[in-house]
Amino acid sequence: MRSISDTIERLARARAQTSGATGQPNTLTRLDDPARNPGNLTGWYQCPDSPASPPALVVVLHGCTQTAAAYDHGSGWSRLADDYGFAVLFPEQTRQNNANLCFNWFQSDDITRDKGEVLSIREMIATMIDVHGVDPRRVFVTGLSAGGAMANALLASYPEVFSGGAIIAGLPFAVASTVPEAFDRMRGHGLPSSTTLDAKLRSASQHEGPWPTVSVWHGTTDNTVAEANAQAIVDQWRGVHGAEAGLSQAQVVDGHRLETWQDASGRDAIEHYRIAGMGHGTPVDAASGYGRPAAHMLEVGISSTVHIARGWGLTPSFERKAAPVSPSNGPAAPNQPRRPQTPDGIQEVIEDALRAAGLMK
């Protein structure tokens, strides 16, 4: 007979799956459990209908206290995927694994290659490739907080699987192995040297091929995960990309500082967005048409979802979403992507070409 606590957990989970803890319906589809699921995770996904070519895949990892549906709602990933024809996969934590629904980024058995939670997510990706036809050459991962730290663990443990990753308010790979150590690192205490960070990354696999690109996002007033972790993540990845300290390029994007490091080939390999005045959460720009403010989804005038997808080539780099139409000019259509104006039908020509290539719906 099930215990009362187990019954309460199952009921709470059912409610969360229906509403995403946001009062909105869950539009994602439950992924069949993979053959190997040592991390005991649940998967949710969305794929484009009848794509002209195998679609790219973005793996999205929610933060603590969140569900897959709630994070999707706030970040806008599935809506962006629907508009531009790529697939999304949302692994989801369970309370049996972690009472706060955090991915266990600080437990070595869950971040070691071919073990625990990272293996469960790797098997979900294999299912998306084998069953749902996604392109194995275009697999990406992103996550917030504990999800960001787990995204970094996946990039370190399976670098051959991913073309790129984006870590939002996350932590470096393998810097904690106990709960007290995890809290210390979150506060920025005891972070290893760049040499040690590099060694931890290199020892996570026997990878000898090209390394995935890394995008790091962090708020300057984050009191949950100290901003020092963002620089530590950059330091962890500079070595494998051959990006020397100090040899970066800086610019301002949507009012926030972006610093970029190139690898030996001249490719932008690492980027670091410092979101001025933002606390702990995912940067959201409701005017973009993707995502909305919610718990740990913070309106700061820049959409991490849109910029990350552009950086990975999943949406046109030339496209910019216009601001909402003012009441004097008539209302904007609610929740509709806004296309920029281009002369002489150039926009339509480019979009037709993208559709013909299967890169846009």
Give tens-digit pLDDT for 49-90: 988 899 999 999 999 999 999 999 999 999 999 999 999 999
Residue 253 is part of a domain; what is its CATH number? 3.40.50.1820
The mean per-residue pLDDT over the stretch 196-221 comes to: 97
pLDDT score at 139: 98
Could you tell me the pLDDT band of residue 358, with boundaries at 50, 70 and 90?
very low
Tell me the pLDDT tens digit for each residue of 310-348: 999 999 865 443 333 323 333 233 333 333 333 334 444
pLDDT tens, residue by residue, 238-288: 999 999 876 778 999 999 999 999 998 889 999 999 999 999 999 999 999
Residue 342 counted as domain residue: no
Report the alpha-carbon angle 9-29-21, nearest 5.
45
Please provide the average confidence, as pLDDT, over all residues in the chain.
85
State pLDDT tens for residues 159-191: 999 999 999 999 999 999 999 999 999 999 999
Domain assignment present for residue 152? The answer is: yes
Residues forming beta bridges with residue 126, ordered by sequence position: none
3-class state of residue 275 by DSSP: strand
**Percent over 70 (pLDDT), the chain:** 80
| Per-residue pLDDT at 145 | 98
Handedness of CA 83, 84, 85, 91 (dihedral sign): negative
Which domain, by its residues, includes 29?
A: 4-315
Is residue 206 one of the residues assigned to a domain?
A: yes
21, part of any domain: yes
The answer to whether 102 touches 93, Cβ cutoff 8 Å, is yes
pLDDT of residue 318: 53
Q: What is the pLDDT of residue 33?
A: 87
Asked, for residue 327, whether it belongs to a domain, the answer is no
Which amino acids are annotated catalytic? 145
Closest CA to 304 of 268, 277, 275: 275
Does residue 333 belong to any structural domain of this protein?
Answer: no
Mean pLDDT for the stretch of residues 190-211: 96
Look at residue 7 in the predicted model and tell me its pLDDT.
37
DSSP assigned state of 286: G
pLDDT of 3: 43
Of 3 and 152, which is predicted with more confidence?
A: 152
pLDDT of the residue at 14: 40
Tokens representing 205? 């696999």
| Contacts of residue 224, Cβ cutoff 8 Å, sequence gap at least 6 | 145, 169, 186, 279, 280
Cβ-proximal residues to 287 (8 Å cutoff; 6+ apart), any chain: 301, 321, 323, 324
Any domain includes 346: no
* 189-216 core/surface letters (b: 16 or more CB in 10 A; e: else): eebbebeebbebbeebbebeeebbbbbb
* Count of the separate structural domains present in the chain: 1
Q: Is residue 92 part of a domain?
A: yes
Region of 160 please: left (phi>0), alpha (psi -120 to 50) or beta. alpha
Band of the pLDDT at 29, cuts 50, 70, 90?
very high
